Amino acid sequence: MAVGIFDSGLGGLTVLDAVAKRLPDVPLVYLGDSAHAPYGVRTPDDIYNLTTSATQRLFDEGCDLVILACNTASAAALRRMQENWVPQGKRVLGVFVPMIEALTERQWGDNSPPREVAAKHVALFATPATVASRAFQRELAFRAVGVDVEAQACGGVVDAIEDGDMILADALVRSHVDALMRKMPQPDAAILGCTHYPLMETEFQAALGPDVKVFSQANLVAESLADYLARRPEMVGPGLESAFLTTGDPVKVSARATQFLRRQITFTAA
């Protein structure tokens, strides 16, 4: 009855932690492709090939449903995977849907015409590959009108977090927020469009100011997954054991993950 969670590195652990708290009886198999992280500077074809390989590994672990807890993979690979690759009886879901549902206050299956929403000026902080894909803007346009989205590619933040250098990550967050606010001085809302960024949510909020509503993904994805499994219980796969898998050095990744979640995490080689 396992569900797979994939990320290019450690950022998806924020999603795993939220899902584990929301669905404590569901075994979760996490795969971090640390050997090839970060994905945010890779080409779309490279991201697609790495993501399909990792997803197949999770299918092999007994997961019929895999969450791409990586905005870059969701932006660059998910649609192509769903159209051309996902085997019959399997599902691959991304992390954009719950965020857009929260921002537009409408369910994904609501196919009524686009309408006005409360947020008019939205700041999007994401990796360079996610920004370049324009996937968030494309999906938002199907559901909302009159929303101005200003995207900021946050180079270096993922690397700093993965390296455990939170002082550098803080400085980079403030620099990227300053750059965005020169283009959009008064955003109504901010999207943290990378699953690493919830670890820096306090820093983003401080730099943006108290009047900006910050949307962070982990809890939104967990709630959306709980709703999905309530409607589609057959998508919980046959796997019975939780596991943490990595393409990187298990000892190094385990140490960083333990620091990341502030509890003991032990990875094994994928």
Active-site pick, 194, 200, 221, 243: 194
**Where would I find the beta strands (DSSP E) of the chain?**
2-7, 28-32, 63-68, 91-93, 115-116, 121-126, 144-145, 148-153, 189-192, 213-215, 243-246, 268-269
The size of the chain, in residues, is 270
Asked, as a colleague might, if the bond just before 38 is cis with ω within 30 of 0, I would say: yes
Residue 96 contacts residue 136 (beta carbons within 8 Å): yes
Q: Can you read off the two tokens belonging to residue 204?
A: 């983003």
63 is catalytic: no
Active-site pick, 37, 70, 184, 265: 70
194 is catalytic: yes
DSSP 36: G
User: Which of helix, strand or coil describes residue 51?
Assistant: helix
Residue 127 contacts residue 39 (beta carbons within 8 Å): yes
Name the residues annotated as catalytic. 70, 194
